[in-house]
C-alpha cells in the first residue's frame, strides 16, 4: 500500500512538472521561429541567412564576438544604427528586437544569452530613442 501511494505521488509530481515545462518549451520554439522569421525579413539580405555576412561589405554574425558580447551594445546598434547599418527603432518593436537578437545570439554556434523586451525598452529610454510607434513615419524599412 505504501509503495502504491509513493508511485501515485511520483506520477502526480511528474505530470505537474511536465505540464509546467511544456508551455515554456513551446514558447521557446515559437520564439526561435519568430526570431528566425524576423532575421530573414530584416537582416538576411546583408548578413545572409547563414549569418556569415558578405566579406568586406557586411559583417558575419555567426561566431561574432560582438554579436555574442554585451546585449546592450548589440541592441544599441539596432536602435541607433552604426556605420552602414540602419537603425530599426521605428520598424521593429522592443519585443521584435529582443526576439531577433535572441535568435542571432543563439544561432550558428553562437552561445550568448537572449534579451527581453523590457531590456530593449530600458535601453531605448537610456539612449533617448523615441518609443516604438511614436514616430510620424514608422516602419521605414
The enclosing domain of 64 has a CATH number of 1.10.760.10
Mean pLDDT of the region 21-35: 54
Which domain does 90 fall in, by range? 31-127
Is residue 55 one of the residues assigned to a domain? yes
- Domain count of the fold of the chain: 1
Structural domain includes residue 92: yes
| Within-domain flag for 140 | no
Q: How many CB atoms lie within 10 A of CB 48?
A: 15
> What's the rounded mean pLDDT across residues 129-140?
68
| Residue 104 resides in a domain | yes
pLDDT in tens, 38-97: 999 999 999 999 999 999 999 999 999 999 999 999 999 999 999 999 999 999 999 999
Residue 98 has pLDDT above 80, yes or no: yes
**Ramachandran angles phi, psi of 24, nearest 5°:** -65, -45
Residue 137 scores a pLDDT above 90: no
Indicate whether 85 belongs to any domain: yes
Amino acid at each position: 500500500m505504501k509503495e502504491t501511494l509513493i508511485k501515485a505521488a511520483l506520477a502526480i509530481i511528474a505530470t505537474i512538472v511536465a505540464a509546467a515545462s511544456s508551455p515554456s518549451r513551446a514558447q521557446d520554439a515559437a520564439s526561435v521561429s519568430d526570431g528566425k522569421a524576423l532575421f530573414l525579413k530584416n537582416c538576411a539580405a546583408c548578413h545572409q541567412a547563414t549569418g556569415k555576412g558578405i566579406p568586406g561589405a557586411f559583417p558575419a554574425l555567426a561566431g561574432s564576438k560582438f554579436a555574442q558580447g554585451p546585449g546592450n551594445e548589440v541592441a544599441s546598434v539596432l536602435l541607433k544604427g552604426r556605420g552602414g547599418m540602419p537603425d530599426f527603432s521605428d520598424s521593429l518593436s522592443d519585443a521584435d528586437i529582443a526576439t531577433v537578437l535572441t535568435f542571432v545570439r543563439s544561432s550558428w554556434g553562437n552561445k550568448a544569452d537572449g534579451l527581453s523586451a523590457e531590456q530593449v525598452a530600458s535601453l531605448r529610454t537610456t539612449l533617448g530613442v523615441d518609443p516604438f510607434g511614436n514616430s510620424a513615419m514608422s516602419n521605414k524599412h
